[in-house]
Amino acid sequence: MARQKKTSNGYYRKTFMFGGKRYCVYGKDQRELVEKLALKRQELEEGVINHINPTLNSYYDYFTEVRIKEQRESTIRSQKVQFKLISDVKISKYMTFGEMRIKDISRRDIETARQMLLDHEKSPEYLNICFAHLNHVFEVAVMDDTIQKNPCKALNVSANLNVGQMAH
């Protein structure tokens, strides 16, 4: 149940619970407070506010949506193909790499996916490009505070690696 209170500086404050977390909105008057409360609830219900631990695929959808105005359509299209190659790797009998929760992905999972792709005769040169893009996705997730650290960093995956480094 939402509680309303007037603060010492004249603003109205209303707190409410959603998904086990307490949220607070402020307004200059009752009308603004009600509008902000409705907007905040709508954002929470639609999942606009960061998910606690999204899957890699759902985070990538968000990542792409944010970048769509900054990048050329052809760049987005080719990067989606690169990401899909990695995300479709079967990590277990029941789960693909993209279905894993982003906070649960470790350096070892990334190495496993890379090795599986090498075993399926994907070229090391192309995998360098794909994993450099995945590294960028994880870097943005760190900047967004979705994850604490980039699991690709431990692999030294970047666009300037030579082919021999990734093949080992």
- Write out 33-89 in H/E/C secondary structure: HHHHHHHHHHHHHHCCCCCCCCEHHHHHHHHHHHHCCCCCHHHHHHHHHHHHHHHCC
Q: Is the pLDDT of residue 166 over 60?
A: no
Distance CA 82, CA 87 (A): 9
Which residues are CB-contacts of 86 (< 8 A; sequence separation ≥ 6)? 97, 98, 113, 117, 130, 131, 134
pLDDT at 84: 95
Q: What is the pLDDT of residues 137-148, one digit of tens each?
A: 999 999 988 888
In this prediction, residue 13 has a pLDDT band, given cuts at 50, 70 and 90, of confident
Please report the DSSP string for 96-164 in residue order: BGGGSBGGG--HHHHHHHHHHHHHTT--HHHHHHHHHHHHHHHHHHHHTTSSSS-TTGGGT--TT--HH
User: Other CB atoms closer than 10 Å to residue 40's CB: what's the count?
Assistant: 18
DSSP structure class, residue 10: S
In this prediction, residue 20 has a pLDDT band, given cuts at 50, 70 and 90, of confident
Q: Which of 44-53, 60-69, 109-118 has the highest mean pLDDT?
A: 109-118
SS3 4: strand
Q: Is the pLDDT of residue 50 over 90?
A: no
pLDDT at 51: 57
Q: Which two tokens stand for residue 83?
A: 């990401």
SS3 165: helix
Query: Is the Cβ–Cβ distance between 133 and 158 less than 8 Å?
Result: no
In this prediction, residue 68 has a pLDDT band, given cuts at 50, 70 and 90, of confident
Q: What is the pLDDT of residues 107-161, one digit of tens each?
A: 999 999 999 999 998 899 999 999 999 999 999 999 988 888 999 887 754 433 4
Q: Tell me the whole-structure pTM to 2 decimals.
A: 0.62
